[in-house]
Amino acid sequence: MIKEKIVLNINKNKDSLTIIAKKIWENPELFLEEFYASNLQKEYLKSHGFKIIEYENLPTAFMAEYGKEGPILGLLGEYDALKNLSQEASSHRNPLQENGAGHGCGHNLLGVGCIGAALAIKEQIEKGEIKGIIRYYGCPAEEVLIGKALMAKQGAFHDLDACLTWHPSSFTMPWAGSLLSMISAKFSFEGKSSHAGSAPHMGRSALSAVELMNTGTNYMREHIDEQSRIHYIITKGGIEPNTVPAQAEVWYNIRAPKREIADEIFQWLNDIAKGAALMTQTKISKVELVSGCYEVLTNQTLVKLIEQNMNTLGGPEYGDDARVFAKEISEKFTRSEKIKGLESNFIPLSFIDQYLHEKTSSPLDFDKYFKASTDVGDVSWITPTAMFGVATWPLGTAAHTWQTTAASGSSIGFSAMIFASKVMATTLVDLYQNEGLLNIVKDEFNKNTSGHVYNSIFDKKIEL
């Protein structure tokens, strides 16, 4: 009965939630600049009786809370956009602003979907149907994987009993697998400038150190975990070719199935950097930790609960306009592109001739790793956490593309968002009403984290 009321509440708020998601889509903001989105959400939640708590030195982060006693359950929202993904809500490429930002990861929907669930739970707490505390976390800077780690350093999540979130996707299913741990760091080298033609012997090239570090790293690749990945770009390579570069910098991302593996690779990278400096008679002037996150420790009890509620709800309610839009987008992919898009998200190739995933599917095997990373991973090592995806984009669409920006501002995205609200809210009802079930969730978490102490990437010490 309560779940029926939950669904009715979300349907009642559907229009206002869609308006907020559309406004955030129309006003995309990059990481740590999400002032419009965070203020819009804060004011909306405040108008519905939520208490707002903010975080020191994180002006676009906040927590909204309602309730006085009982289990404390959280919902993780995000709202940062991506560079160069501006796009109108249409099936052909047309940026709204040349080189402008856009919501190519659907974060305009992600946070608002969580807010819809929070409002539905709040109404039942207010009426005395549920005893507990509901929290919505407005989390900035997910795209650079720092928001939740910085919030965690201020104790944001440490008293939660459990936490849920979702993410726009091209497939509707619980995420039983994990996402990769990540460390992002910049290595700066200092050499000695000199005239490259008349006196190169008097200079020491910082760029040579960067290039040797990259070469050493490429030889290292054979000997690391096969699911781990290393990416780099040279961010500073000198001023002009006629001067031996005195300063150079390379930016590395390391992804690995486990934080411990990422740490080992990072230490190896540090050793390679030291070797490159020795070979070029330069020195490492700085190693800057840009960001990083844990792998997601998925709570399988929560995953099963999400699956049950997903199946009961049946799937998003798409209209014919959404189906036409999905068909137009999907038909622009070659068959090879669509296969790659499906395979990258472990979607069965039996869906190759479909445009939009309208039902729900069972979760992947527990040992599958999505190749992306998220700072939800940090939260998952602090409190029991689970995620799921909802088909916000046409099948085979890759995230961080103009197509996903377009879909995130269309009826496909808004329908997916409302379904996500219902899945989260009904799952939370089960946890509030069944203390034994919540204890099973917490027991699983305690077993999986036994002996582990959470440490943020920003606690890491680097010895040059």
Predicted confidence band of residue 458 (pLDDT cuts 50, 70, 90) = confident
Give yes or no for residue 365 having a pLDDT over 80. no
Residue 164 forms beta bridges with which residues? 75, 386
Which tokens sit at 432?
């509030």
| pLDDT reported for residue 464 | 65
Looking at every residue in the chain, the average pLDDT score rounds to 96
Average pLDDT over residues 333-352: 88
Reduced to 3 states (helix: H, G, I; strand: E, B; else coil), residue 120 is: helix
Domains of the chain with bracketed CATH: 2-179+295-449 (3.40.630.10), 184-293 (3.30.70.360)
**Which pLDDT score, from 0 to 100, does residue 463 have?**
66
Residue 145: pLDDT over 90: yes
The answer, yes or no, to whether residue 371 has pLDDT greater than 90, is: no
Give the mean model confidence (pLDDT) for residues 372-391: 97
Q: What is the pLDDT of residue 366?
A: 63
**Cα–Cα distance, 321 to 323 (Å, whole number):** 5
User: What's the rounded mean pLDDT across residues 279-286?
Assistant: 98
Mean pLDDT over residues 207-223, rounded? 98
Which residues have CB under 8 Å from 199's CB, separation 6+? none
* pTM of the predicted structure, to 2 decimals: 0.95
Give residue 369's pLDDT band: very low, low, confident or very high (50, 70, 90). Answer: confident
Report d(CA 430, CA 262) in Å as an integer. 36
Distance of alpha carbon 223 from its chain centroid, rounded?
28
Lowest pLDDT segment from 70-84, 123-137, 192-206, 358-372: 358-372
pLDDT digits (tens, 9 = 90+) for 414-435: 999 999 999 999 999 999 999 9
Would you place residue 109 in the very low, low, confident or very high pLDDT band (cuts 50, 70, 90)? very high
Q: What DSSP string describes 383-419? A: S-EEEEEEE-S-TTPPSSSHHHHHHHTSHHHHHHHHH
Whether 306 has a pLDDT exceeding 90, the answer reads yes
Q: Give me the pLDDT at residue 257, please.
A: 96
Residue 10's pLDDT band (cuts 50, 70, 90) = very high
| Exposed e or buried b per residue across 127-136, where buried means at least 16 C-beta atoms within 10 angstroms of its C-beta | eebbebbbbb
Percentage, residues of the chain above pLDDT 90: 91
Q: Say if residues 356 and 394 touch (Cβ distance below 8 Å).
A: yes
Rounded mean pLDDT, 393-404: 94
> pLDDT by residue (tens digit) across 241-261?
999 999 999 999 999 999 999
Distance from C-alpha of 453 to C-alpha of 293, rounded to nearest angstrom: 14
Average pLDDT (335-349) is 87
